[in-house]
């Protein structure tokens, strides 16, 4: 039997993402699903790495109405990674989950800036 209430994964384009990130009226979480090394070399400002060990534990207590936006590079392989990550958040009952299918490449090609992370050895 098909669940009529099953949430569908929605996609967002570069202009919509830029507009969404500039809004302050609703919380959001921008998640980069690429490997940590790729994330460190460059990511969309404000993004967090899916591989941050705290994300999933923090997500359990977050507002389920907040926007969750996932992205990778924009290649077909990475689009599947995005979809898989997005479904994990939908399974945790988040209601507004988006996939940025153009990915980091689309973001950069549209002339947007990226941030870099510096990890230090401890």
**pLDDT by residue (tens digit) across 31-75?**
999 999 999 999 999 999 988 777 878 888 899 999 999 999 877
SS3 category, 94: coil
d(CA 19, CA 28): 12
In DSSP terms, 11 is beta-bridged to: 99
What is the reported pTM?
A: 0.85
Residue 35: alpha-carbon gap to chain centroid:
13
In DSSP terms, 97 is beta-bridged to: 68
Q: Which is it for the CA torsion 99, 112, 20, 60, positive or negative?
A: positive
The angle formed by the CA atoms of residues 106, 40 and 14, to the nearest 5 degrees, is 20
pLDDT tens digits for range 4-24 = 345 677 899 999 999 999 988
């Amino acid at each position: 039997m098909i669940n009529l209430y099953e949430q569908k994964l929605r996609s967002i384009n570069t202009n919509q993402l830029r507009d969404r990130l500039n809004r302050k009226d609703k919380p959001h979480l921008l998640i980069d699903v690429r490997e940590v090394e790729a994330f460190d070399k460059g990511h969309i400002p404000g993004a967090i790495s899916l591989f941050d060990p705290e994300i999933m534990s923090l997500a359990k207590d977050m507002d389920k109405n907040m926007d969750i936006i996932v992205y990778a590079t924009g290649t077909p392989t990475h689009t599947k990674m995005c979809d898989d990550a997005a479904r994990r958040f939908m399974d945790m009952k988040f209601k507004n989950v988006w996939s940025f299918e153009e990915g980091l490449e689309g973001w950069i090609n549209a002339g947007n800036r990226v941030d870099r992370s510096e990890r230090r050895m401890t």
